[in-house]
Structure 1
Amino acid sequence: MKHIDFHLDFISPYAYLAFEQLPRALEGLSYEVAYRPILFAALLKHHGQLGPAEIPGKREWTYRQVLWQAQAAGLPMQMPSAHPFNPLGLLRLATACGPNRYVCETLFRHAWRGGEDAADPARLQALQQQLAPRRDPASQEVKDELKAATGQAIAQGVFGVPTFAVDGKLFWGVDSLPMLRAYLEGHEWFGAPWDEAAKAPAAVSRVRAG
């Protein structure tokens, strides 16, 4: 049985789509999943990047694309009333509960179904009462655990969400699900071709503005 670490942030519509489609995408295979809430904004800061919703043009495209993908997959999905939103309340609640599939499903659907404010304090309080976490989401212990999980993900090479980590290999994005399935099925491409694909030298490099 293969072990998959699913790195996610509830702010990401692509992570929601990947979460909902994962069981069907890997149907019939032997695997287990550990859900790893991390702070996407910290990944962006580490790599000096803006998020898709922070770039005019890309923002609009992202929202159109994810809603198209959802309807194509037959998944309910509505944009929250404001996006991006602050996901820390959801991430800390997931961490405090112990992020199993039920917890993550509840939080993803809170954000991406119904079109309401995902960070509304009253809604977050209702979620906390529903999930009854064994630890206080506002505790320093939970905050430190989320920060550490994000740092560990960065150290492992994670640069975006959703990312699936298995056997030291990283599969990024909802569109990587077929690739992940092929790896779990033992496809021969994940030997030498996988390694060779990353060896192309860079012919030009842009200097990041300070």
Structure 2
Amino acid sequence: MKHITFHLDFVSPYAWLAFERMPEVLEGLSYTVQYRPVLLGALLQRNSNPGPAGIATKRAWTYRHVHWLGQSLGVGLDMPAEHPFNPLPLLRLALQCSDDGSINRFVAGAVLRHVWQGGQGALEAPRLQALKALLAEQLRPCEQAAEQAKAWLRGNTDAAVEAGVFGVPAWEVDGKLFWGLDGLPMLRAYLAQDPWFDAAHWEQLPQTPSGLAH
């Protein structure tokens, strides 16, 4: 049985779509999953990447694309009232439901639906209170839970960078990274022991010389 680490940030619409699609795409395979919240902004910053929201025309395309994808995949996606937004309160809240820096699928799904269903503000105070109530049985009661959540988020993000994660959604398994919603079929192929992975492609292809001047 393979173990998958699923790196996600609730601010990413592709993370929502991938979260919903993953069980269907990987149906019939034997695996376990750890859901690891990370701060996407930090990943982008460390790679000098402005992200889709940093380029006006790409931002416009992304919002059209993800809404169309949600409809075409039967997932359903409503843009929140404002986007992007600061995901830190949601990431830290989710990690207050953790004992080791990972969260379970219920918590991940609850926070993702909070953002991507209904078209409301992700950080509106009444809605955050409702989300806390929904997660009440998952929240850890210790006084240090909030500070521990901050530490886990930093640790998760640092570990993701160390593993080569540059964006979300991303899946890590056996030291290999699969990125993006359209990376799910490739992840399935690896888990299903596709012979492509037995050849040298994985290691050799990134060694292709660059034709750009340094």
* Alignment TM-score > 0.5, same fold: yes
For the aligned residue pairs, the C-alpha RMSD in angstroms reads 1.4
Q: In the alignment, which residue of structure 1 is the partner of 2:57?
A: 57
Spell out, residue by residue over 1:140-199, the C-alpha distance to the aligned partner (whole angstroms, 9 max, x if none): 221111111100110111000000000000000000000000000001111311212111
How far the C-alpha of 1:122 sits from its partner, in A, is 2.2
Determine if contact 1:92/1:137 at 8 Å carries over to the other structure: no
Give the length in aligned residue pairs. 206
Q: In the alignment, which residue of structure 2 is the partner of 1:27?
A: 27
Q: In the alignment, which residue of structure 1 is the partner of 2:46?
A: 46
Spell out, residue by residue over 1:26-52, the C-alpha distance to the aligned partner (whole angstroms, 9 max, x if none): 000000100000000000111111110
Where 1:157 maps in the other structure, the secondary structure is coil
Q: Is residue 101 of structure 2 the alignment partner of residue 94 of structure 1?
A: no
Pick the aligned partner of 1:159 from 148, 163, 166.
Answer: 166
Pick the aligned partner of 1:201 from 193, 205, 209.
Answer: 209
Spell out, residue by residue over 1:54-91, the C-alpha distance to the aligned partner (whole angstroms, 9 max, x if none): 21100000001111111111112100000001111110
How far the C-alpha of 1:126 sits from its partner, in A, is 1.8
Q: In the alignment, which residue of structure 2 is the partner of 1:189?
A: 196
Counterparts of 2:15 and 2:117, CA distance in 1: 14
Determine if contact 1:6/1:33 at 8 Å carries over to the other structure: yes
Range moving further from structure 2, 189-198 or 7-16: 189-198
Matched letter for residue 123 of structure 1: R
Counterparts of 2:80 and 2:166, CA distance in 1: 24
Counterparts of 2:130 and 2:202, CA distance in 1: 46
Q: Indicate how the Cα distance of structure 1 residues 138 and 97 shifts in structure 2: closer, same or farther if over 3 A, else same.
A: closer
Percent identity of equivalent pairs:
53
Range moving further from structure 2, 197-206 or 187-196: 197-206
Pick the aligned partner of 1:130 from 123, 128, 134.
Answer: 134
Counterparts of 1:137 and 1:160, CA distance in 2: 29
Alignment TM-score, normalising by the size of structure 1: 0.94
Structure 1 stretches of 4+ with a deviation exceeding 4 A read 135-138
Counterparts of 1:184 and 1:35, CA distance in 2: 18
Q: In the alignment, which residue of structure 2 is the partner of 1:121?
A: 125
Where 2:207 maps in the other structure, the secondary structure is coil
Counterparts of 2:62 and 2:177, CA distance in 1: 22
Counterparts of 2:54 and 2:121, CA distance in 1: 18
Alignment TM-score, normalising by the size of structure 2: 0.93
Determine if contact 1:5/1:164 at 8 Å carries over to the other structure: yes
Where 1:49 maps in the other structure, the secondary structure is coil
Q: In the alignment, which residue of structure 1 is the partner of 2:175?
A: 168
